[in-house]
Amino acid sequence: MLEFKVSYQSRESSARLGELILQHGTVETPVFMPVGTQATVKAMSPEELVAVGAEIILSNTYHLYLRPGHELIQEGGGLHSFMNWRHPILTDSGGFQVFSLADLRKVNDDGVTFRSHLDGSSHYFTPEKSIEIQMALGSDIAMAFDVCSPYPCDHSTALRDLNRTTAWAKRCKESHQHDYQNLFGIVQGGIYHDLRQKSLEELLALDFPGYGIGGLSVGEPKDIMYEVLDELMSHFPTSKPRYLMGVGSPDCLVEGVIRGVDMFDCVLPTRIARNGTVWTSEGKINIRNAIHAKEFKTLDSDCDCYTCRNFSRAYLRHLFKANEILGLRLTTIHNLAYLMNLMREIRGAIKEERLLNFAKEIRNLYPI
């Protein structure tokens, strides 16, 4: 089972340092989790993930259910063995993917009927089905099946989704039986403060070992997301981890940590890397741009990743212009290394009580 230890609480903000102790290892928090949707972080080997400092990754219940199937993964020894990742894994519930299939699904109080984005076949997800899949996968942390409200949506729609999320969380907990897997509830409620508080109170009554914050970073302006967090975070128990789902830009990470978030995930760093966009200690650059054609310096002089130790901007631009696979691999390595290093710097800034000043530097590099 999960053990969460808060080792330091900041005096200048709600940020804190902690350790998340799981079956497959200990994770320092605050932490960013690279996303391995299909049992792989795109373009990265497990050894490369370890090299950049990843301690925990996320995989996707919906996608692995459709392909190759959770039964096959279970037969192969579970997700850790199947993908040769010996460290902690969190699996999402599939709720967000179903939410994103707006034209392919129908939701009722019992569950969701949806058509596969792969072949159009019809499937039915219930809370019990999501838990069945995640138990078969054998992740260290599983997420309750929830209903993610779109942005914008009215109060009544957000309330309906919240009520289903609470009812489904109860069903998930009732059906969850696993030796070491930990089930987290997910707070919903859209951008409405009263609904967020209602959702949290109902989930706290179910006493999950940790709590996700869903339904943010779904199109709303960042200042609205921060307002929701400002209102909500002080009501979370201090003894349990708090996970802001689907957030991964440098500015949002530091803003979330200031407000007391412990865990983050997002496809953003790997997705933009494959398009040639990289984050550096001097801000964001696009390696495809002509300005880099004769730049023989590295991506980031402050970075010690494999890419920055060995290759120039000019070479990386050449790889992208030539459509060589190595290019997107190298930018992916760098972006994940940048975020892992950013989280280390954030943890150091918390301990030294300089996080607010550090946040100003990040805002200047990555303005909204």
Of residues 253 and 123, the one with the higher pLDDT is 253
**Whether residue 79 has pLDDT greater than 90:** yes
**Whether residue 1 has pLDDT greater than 90:** no
pTM score of the predicted model? 0.97
Mean pLDDT of the chain: 96
Please tell me the least confidently modeled range out of 7-16, 110-119, 142-151: 110-119
- Beta-carbon contacts of 180 under 8 Å, excluding residues fewer than 6 positions away, are 1, 22, 23, 140
Residue 13 — very low, low, confident or very high, per pLDDT cuts 50/70/90? very high
**Whether residue 117 has pLDDT greater than 90:** no
* Candidate list 92, 146, 262, 300, residue with the active-site label: 92
Q: What is the mean pLDDT of residues 77-81?
A: 98
Name the percent of the chain lying above pLDDT 90. 94
Q: Helix-strand-coil percent breakdown of the chain, rounded to 5?
A: 45, 20, 40
* Whether 92 is catalytic: yes
* Candidate list 154, 265, 300, 302, residue with the active-site label: 265
* pLDDT value of position 222: 97
**Whether residue 312 has pLDDT greater than 80:** yes
Q: What confidence tens digit (pLDDT) does each residue in 233-288 have?
A: 999 999 999 999 999 999 999 999 999 999 999 999 999 999 999 999 999 999 99
* pLDDT value of position 324: 98
**Whether residue 100 has pLDDT greater than 90:** no
**Cα gap 2→27, rounded to integer Å:** 11
Residue 311 — very low, low, confident or very high, per pLDDT cuts 50/70/90? very high
Q: 312: buried, middle or exposed (CB in 10 Å: 19+, 13-18, 0-12)?
A: middle
Nearest to 335 by CA among 248, 216, 256, 258: 248
Q: What angle do CA 278, 213, 95 make, to 5 degrees?
A: 90
Q: What is the mean pLDDT of residues 32-40?
A: 97
Please tell me the least confidently modeled range out of 67-71, 72-76, 96-100, 321-325: 96-100
Q: What is the mean pLDDT of residues 84-102?
A: 88
Question: What 3-state DSSP class applies to 338?
Answer: helix
Q: What confidence tens digit (pLDDT) does each residue in 190-225 have?
A: 999 999 999 999 999 999 999 999 999 999 999 999
Determine the CATH number of domain 3-268.
3.20.20.105
Q: What angle do CA 300, 258, 359 make, to 5 degrees?
A: 35
Q: What confidence tens digit (pLDDT) does each residue in 329-352 have?
A: 999 999 999 999 999 999 999 999
